[in-house]
Amino acid sequence: MKAVKQKKMILDTETLEEAFFEDVKLFGIVSPVEPYHLIWNLNHAFNYSFERNHEAEVQFKDIYYSVFYYADEEKLIEHYIFANRNKTNYMIAEAKNIDFIWMMKGNIHSLFFLSQVSSLLESIQNIDYSMEINPEHLKSKQHLIV
């Protein structure tokens, strides 16, 4: 009896990444404070309730990066804050100048809402700088897939 070769199925991760980031906006935040301090400031400035999500923590090279989550059910947007820095290590190595990454996923097509985020971030104490990030420019964006 002749052995039958089975075809191996290959997962197209590039297509999956493109689909995931289709409805995502990213903001980089430069702030010298600890994650819990930044989250406290964001919760008060935006009237959100970010909480640490231990299940979504990113582990890379035996180092854990904190993730905080808030679901805005009114605007249908999920918010994630990733700590990009853990001491001298970075989750997204090509973004070493960024301490935190704020990912908004869902109904992010309101320009008014996005402009509110930018201006509120600029007014928060202990945030030195914030900027919108194009996910296409991040080589290791797969670390942000939750």
Three-state SS sequence of 29-58 = EECCCCHHHHHHHHHHHHCCCCEECHHHCE
- pLDDT tens, 16-57? 767 777 888 999 999 999 999 999 999 999 999 999 998 888
What is residue 13's predicted lDDT score, i.e. its pLDDT? Answer: 64
CB 118 within 8 A of CB 102: no
Query: CA angle 75-39-48, nearest 5°?
Result: 25
Burial classification of residue 143, based on how many CB atoms lie within 10 Å of its CB (0-12 exposed, 13-18 middle, 19 or more buried): middle
- pLDDT tens, 95-124? 899 999 999 998 877 666 777 888 889 899
Domain ranges of the chain: 25-144
Its pTM stands at 0.83
- Strands of the chain (E only): list them: 24-30, 51-52, 58-60, 63-65, 67-72, 77-83, 85-86, 89-90, 100-106, 129-133
Mean pLDDT value across residues 134-142: 79
Cα 15 to Cα 59: distance, rounded to the nearest angstrom: 23
Number of other residues whose CB lies within 10 A of the CB of residue 47: 7
Residue 130 has pLDDT above 60, yes or no: yes
Cα 11 to Cα 5: distance, rounded to the nearest angstrom: 19
Q: How confident is the model at residue 12 (pLDDT cuts 50, 70, 90)?
A: low
CB 103 within 8 A of CB 80: yes
